Structure 1
Amino acid sequence: MARTLLLVVAAGALVYVSRAHAEGVRGPKLPDHVADVRDAILTAARSGDINELQSAFEVSGNIPDLGISPRSDPIKVLKDRSADPQGRDTLAAIVEMLDMPPSTLPFGNDIENNLIYVWPYLSTRQLDKLTPSEQVDLYRLVTPELAAEMRKKKRWLWWRLVISADGTWTLFRKGT
């Protein structure tokens, strides 16, 4: 009886630890506005049609900082920067980033909405101090050569996507 009870308690503890670990991996709970914009971006990216990002811009109410002139066509610029003419490698990068948890950073003076959500979370970490599981996440995103270059330069060189707490998609750029 005592052995059975011990096994039940141990199993319960294992489930609790596993659930806590899984919740930690998912990252912070996103505010509804942030989750809505993230979902719109993911839906557009998973469609395989880069033109669908226009609908994510509309949900956000903003065209994010793409490092371009305000008069430029953002979809055309993203296609031009892409390794393929349809922009599918950029869409794949978006999916991979948004499938990971974000980092949260304080920004601004508004007490209730002073966070920004940054994907991938690795872009805010010290690259020479990543845990083994974070290194696996890094290799999901970039080639080993780019990872080595980023460690050498001590800065993030790949895509970064930022959504503010009010649901505004504010940034989608490389190397920021």
Structure 2
Amino acid sequence: MVTSLAGCPPAAWALSDIPQIPGQQQPEEPDSSTAPEPTEDEKSDDDAADPGLTGIPDPDPLINKPGEDQTDADTAEPQKPPPEVIYDISKAPEPVRRMRELMIEAAASGDIERLRALMNPGPNQTQIQLGTDEDDPVAKLKSLSGDPDGVEILAILIDILSTGFVRVDAGTRDEAYVWPYFAEKPLSLLTPPEKVELLRIVTAGDFAEMEELGNYNFFRLGISPDGQWKFFAAGD
């Protein structure tokens, strides 16, 4: 039997097939070409709202511009060159040469009392700067020796006076000729032959400790230009 379609509801309209009501205008699609340009404030708001947008990063505060800071090397005072090491005793004044000779003779005798007459008894007495409580200068020397008679100190005295020497504080009231020169020359600047010379006075262990400290800290002595034995000291 043929069924009539006249009584059946029409099929759903497609969106494009919806008839336009007479007198009603169809809404126009916006024309992107005529859309107003966003203002600067709107652009800023849009950029802030979009986490994917990034601007130019601020300069790193850790970056120093040239000329802002100076390094320690620029501001540090230049180190003075080490004094000239002298081996020729004839370059020292005659009074200095004479005192050195007398000291070696006294030390070689084995009698430490022979040094007493060379230590300037009185107000200009030789300064024994060795941290001992003894008042008598010869007793101070004995207290530093490994033996009761002070023979070890006499041997050290000869060894020291057998090295090169330096002139310090030239032209001042503190001018002196100092033995050994290691007391005034940085250990880092010693040549291999000079290290050998130093090891004739100290042990290898002592030398290693001195290198850690950065300076010579064994015995040293000074003679003034007029031939006075100024000091005998040890330490930094």
Does the 8 Å CA contact 1:64/1:169 hold for their aligned counterparts?
A: yes
More helix by share: 1
Shift of 1:115: 3.6
1:100 aligned residue: 163
Which position in structure 2 is the counterpart of 1:10? none
Summarize the alignment of residues 37-48 of structure 1 with structure 2, pairs less than 5 Å apart. 37-48=99-110
Task: Please report the TM-score for the alignment, with normalisation by the length of structure 2.
Answer: 0.57
Instruction: State how far apart, in whole Å, the 2-side matches of 1:117 and 1:97 are.
Output: 13
Distance 2:103 2:88 in 1: 18
Amino acid at match of 1:102: F
CA distance, structure 2, for counterparts of residue 99 and residue 125 of structure 1 = 17
1:32 corresponds to which of 74, 94, 113: 94
Provide the residue aligned with 1:157 in structure 2: 217
Structure 2 portions without partners, runs of 5+: 1-85
Q: Which structure's CA Rg is the greater one?
A: 2
CA distance in 2, matches of 1:65, 1:94: 15
Q: Tell me, what secondary structure is at the counterpart of 1:166?
A: coil
> How far off its partner does 1:62 sit?
4.2
Describe the superposition over 1:12-50 as per-residue Cα deviations: whole angstroms up to 9, x where unpaired.
xxxxxxxxxxxx643661101111111111111111111
Cα 1:146/1:70, change in 2 over 3 Å: closer
Post-superposition offset of 1:109: 3.5
Aligned to 1:147: 207
1:108-147 aligned at under 5 Å gives the runs: 108-109=171-172, 115-147=175-207
Q: Equivalents in 2 of 1:157, 1:79: separation in Å?
A: 19
**Which consecutive residues of structure 1, in runs of 5 or more, have no partner in the other structure?**
1-23
**Whole-Å separation in 1 of the counterparts to 2:210 and 2:132:** 27
Aligned AA (1:63): Q
Aligned to 1:83: 146
Number of residue-to-residue matches in the alignment: 150
SS of match in other structure, 2:199: helix
1:53 aligns with 2:115: yes
What is the Cα-based RMSD across aligned positions, in Å? 2.5
- CA distance change for structure 1 residues 28 and 116 in 2, over 3 Å: closer, same or farther? farther
Higher relative contact order (CA 8 A, sep 6+): 1
- Does the CA-based 8 Å contact 2:210-2:217 persist in structure 1? yes
Which amino acid letter does the alignment assign opposite residue 79 of structure 1? Answer: K
